[in-house]
Amino acid sequence: MSQSLSELLKGYPAARAISAQDVRAAHAGGSVLVVLDDDPTGTQSVTGLPVITSWEEADFQWAFSQGAPAIYVMTNSRSLSPEAAERINREVARNARVAARTQGLELGFVSRSDSTLRGHFPLEPQTLIEEETAAGHTIDGVLIIPAFGDAGRVTVGGVHYAGSEESGFEPVGASEFAQDATFGYSASNLCDWVEEKTHGKTPAAEVAHLDLTTIRDGRAAELLGGISGGRYVACDAVTEEDLRAVALGVIESGKNFIYRVGPPFVRAFIGQELAAPLTAENIPVAAADRGGLVVVGSHVPTTTRQLAALLKEREATVIELDAATVLNHGEGYLDELTERVDEALKHSTVVFHTSRQLIKGKDKDESLAIARRVSEALVSVVNGVVHKAPPAFVIAKGGITSSDVASKGLEMRRATVVGPMQPGIISLWAAQDGPAQGTPYIVFAGNVGSDSSLSYVVGVCEQAAANNYRKELDND
């Protein structure tokens, strides 16, 4: 049964008044965070930070040269096999260390993953511990902080919840996200979830719990100061102030952690203010004579509802990529779709989506492989379209989709996060290279936003394109 937020928080003290400036002051001169983002949606809570989709030493040199307190590395590992995810985590950690030494930087590592607990856990944080240990750095523990208040994910009493003020909050183990074909689970209590995901290797009783009362009483550093030996710590959090309190606790404790977190923790840890949503007036659109391209690959129910609302509320040309045809090696099918999308963009916004019937394999690995093939087909079409003529804007819906569209569809290696399209969610990037340089790129997670959010974002981008088109006419 769902509960209201006030019911969940009954008996707990109020959040402490901690400003972003308080955290910035405490963090000044600290380590640069290297955020290994298992899909690009981790950037939706931050602004002005560099993003790289390739992790050669030169890419890190560019990212570190921006002077930012954190950089994002798009590994897209959530869509990969465990073996590939482990390999990439090792490559990122090693290359980041080499590049950091040349610039005299100290690093901290963040394993950013899903706020609804999907992803390669415990593999990824444990791999980073191994790499850091090999580099001579002691890791005292792993902080697990999936809370993402802007998207309705909160952790109270050790239990992680998903929901909203309107619909109420339910334990995440009872949500649609726990039924994920690849990363499904049953536990909602984070300590129990660790036991479930480690197959009993780490019993729930061995997981430390940083509870909301301790956080709000200003005693987080006291608990964290006693953590050692790579112990897992499950953290409660509801508000931005709670995350800032945890950040201050980490800094004051003097301990060294790997962070397994949802999107907003990095914002809180580096002391970044909550950014106002972008408007049509501050979104630069290069190709004002083309329609925008909305690419939808996610199959979670939230996305399906948002897609339905978009098609009901706005005029657009709809083109479907049939997954069954892709899997059956339809000859010439992708070339045909590329031509159709390109032609339609001359007249309107195009919604290019995968068929809504999710095709699953006989096990998790096969389901992931099917998802990869369909995503590759989707991205192949996007790449063909961009090389013909970039759209006015590109919106990618879904984690795997948005990563592949960025790195393969738009051939983007380096970008800068501009800001959110809605409060704390849905990120706009500015590509620094590739054939779509200058084209606004919106990273839209599959599992965030209200039913009308996708339609709203498309509307803002269309208005930005219309504004730019009028400016071009005025300048003729």
CATH at residue 96: 3.40.50.10840
- Examine the fold and report which residue of 217, 240, 270 is the final residue of a domain before the chain moves on: 270
**Residue 284 domain-assigned?**
no
What phi and psi, each to the nearest 5 degrees, are found at residue 73?
-115, 115
222: left (phi over 0), alpha (psi -120 to 50) or beta: alpha
> Do 419 and 464 lie in a common domain?
yes
CATH at residue 440: 3.40.980.20
> Do 378 and 413 lie in a common domain?
yes
**Residue 24 domain-assigned?**
yes
> Do 254 and 297 lie in a common domain?
no
Torsion angle in degrees (nearest 10) through CA of 440, 446, 452, 456: 0
| Helix (H/G/I), strand (E/B), else coil: 269 | helix
> Do 264 and 365 lie in a common domain?
no
> Do 337 and 397 lie in a common domain?
yes
Mind listing the pLDDT tens digit for each residue in 336-386?
A: 999 999 999 999 999 999 887 777 878 878 887 888 888 889 999 999 999
User: What distance in Å separates the CA atoms of residue 456 and residue 468, rounded to the nearest whole number?
Assistant: 19
The conformation of residue 184, written as its DSSP 8-state character, comes to -
CA 166, distance to chain mean position in Å, is: 24
**Residue 287 domain-assigned?**
no
pLDDT score for 171: 98
Mind listing the pLDDT tens digit for each residue in 310-329?
A: 999 999 999 999 988 988 87
| Helix (H/G/I), strand (E/B), else coil: 302 | helix
Q: Which residues of the chain have pLDDT under 50?
A: none
Mind listing the pLDDT tens digit for each residue in 224-268?
A: 999 999 999 999 999 999 999 999 999 999 999 999 999 999 999
pLDDT score for 400: 80
What phi and psi, each to the nearest 5 degrees, are found at residue 124?
-70, -50
User: What distance in Å separates the CA atoms of residue 317 and residue 344, rounded to the nearest whole number?
Assistant: 7
Instruction: Tell whether omega for the bond before 122 is within 30 degrees of 0, i.e. cis.
Output: yes
> Do 79 and 216 lie in a common domain?
yes
> Do 379 and 429 lie in a common domain?
yes
pLDDT score for 403: 86
> Do 136 and 251 lie in a common domain?
yes
pTM of the full structure? 0.90
> Do 245 and 303 lie in a common domain?
no
426: left (phi over 0), alpha (psi -120 to 50) or beta: left
Which structural domain, as residue segments, surrounds residue 219?
Answer: 5-270
pLDDT score for 472: 64
**Residue 278 domain-assigned?**
no
User: What distance in Å separates the CA atoms of residue 374 and residue 421, rounded to the nearest whole number?
Assistant: 27
pLDDT score for 473: 60
> Do 266 and 307 lie in a common domain?
no
**Residue 93 domain-assigned?**
yes
The number of folded domains in the chain is 2
